[in-house]
Amino acid sequence: MITDAHSHVLALDFGGTKLAAAVVDIQNGQILAQQRQATPAEQGADGSIKTMLTLGRQVLKDCTLAAPARVGISFGGPVSGDCRTVLMSNHVPGWENVPLPQLVSETFGCPAAMDNDANAAALGSWWYDAHREPDHMVYIQISTGIGAGLVLKREIYRGAAIAGEIGHITVVPNGPLCVCGKHGCLESLTAGWAIARAGRKALENAVHGSPLWQACQGDADRLDARLVIQAANAGDPTAGEIINDAFSALGIAIANMILLYDPQTVMLGGGVARAQREMLAVMEPVIERELHPLSKKRCKLQFSGLEGRETLLGAAHLPL
């Protein structure tokens, strides 16, 4: 039920593979209307902006809302320290130095705020998973890539601009090659693409009919992180090793984050984090082993229950 139009915020999520727009009631975290579309990457930044503005107008119309109170933008890539400019995108060409909040603000006739997607998701998760209880929370998104958002003293901590790049901290010296060109980054072991890559490599030597082979019927192109985890659960020893390496690396990274920031909560979100049981079984003993005695039992480990909505919800709460 629409009660107060002043609490209705237009949230825009510019992802590498999809665009999403929603009207969020920030009084209760309800998404009142939502539209999604694949990112037209071949049309560059201009095509994404045009498509997103159309989606934004559509959700406002769906809610019979003439104008939102403000707009919150989540961008899937680095933004400038003052959050006024997109720096670039790894997925879509033409995003260098685009003043996106200004463009959006002019279109919808209201103020617009922006941050990167990990920070937006962290804020959404802090509001609606953690219910704003912890003063200090680390949110880690484990999906195609891995990023973290730091809520410190109840606000997003950005450093000079891009704090929280946990995906590219080294967890295994001289480990597997990462997309960034380094070796042994957390992302090179634990991201969805990395688990799938390790699975495909293992499939080359897999016995016909083994759980890993069965999970994808021997077709390497079908093998994704979910199927590798499934094969590990079915007792495939090689898949088990891949999962063990992936979630041990995550445990080391989380222990390091706890030692650095002493958060009350570490929140895990993203597609790979749906393997909650498998993740905890490997990760908990590693975290226990890696933590200094003073840091033990001080931090709660929690999984997001928002199923991907945290990014839009957090975008709606971004400070202007």
**Residue 205, Cβ neighbours under 10 Å: how many?**
9
Alpha-carbon distance 44 to 22, whole Å? 22
Q: By CB under 5 A, how many residues form the interface with Zn ion? A: 5
**Position of tokens 């957390």?**
186
Query: 303 burial class (0-12, 13-18, 19+ CB within 10 angstroms)?
Result: middle
User: Which listed range, 145-153, 171-179, 225-233, 309-317, lies at the site for Zn ion (CB under 5 A)?
Assistant: 171-179
Is the CB of residue 316 less than 8 Å from the CB of residue 72? yes
Please, which residue, 175 or 240, has the CB nearer to Zn ion? 175
Q: Is 171 in the site for Zn ion (CB under 5 A)?
A: no
Position among 112, 150, 178, 198 found at the interface with Zn ion (CB under 5 A) = 178
Please, which residue, 20 or 166, has the CB nearer to Zn ion? 166
Q: Is 183 in the site for Zn ion (CB under 5 A)?
A: no
Q: Is 226 in the site for Zn ion (CB under 5 A)?
A: no
Position among 86, 185, 279, 287 found at the interface with Zn ion (CB under 5 A) = 185
Q: Which of residues 1-60 bind Zn ion (CB under 5 A)?
A: none
Q: List residues bridging with 36 in a β-sheet.
A: 20
Is the CB of residue 70 less than 8 Å from the CB of residue 8? no
Please, which residue, 188 or 311, has the CB nearer to Zn ion? 188
Please, which residue, 57 or 182, has the CB nearer to Zn ion? 182
CA neighbours closer than 13 Å in the CB half-sphere of residue 303: 14
Amino acid at 6: H
Count of H helices and E strands in the chain? 10, 10
Please, which residue, 169 or 212, has the CB nearer to Zn ion? 169
Q: Is 146 in the site for Zn ion (CB under 5 A)?
A: no
* Interacting residue ranges for Zn ion, rule: CB under 5 A: 168, 178, 180, 182, 185
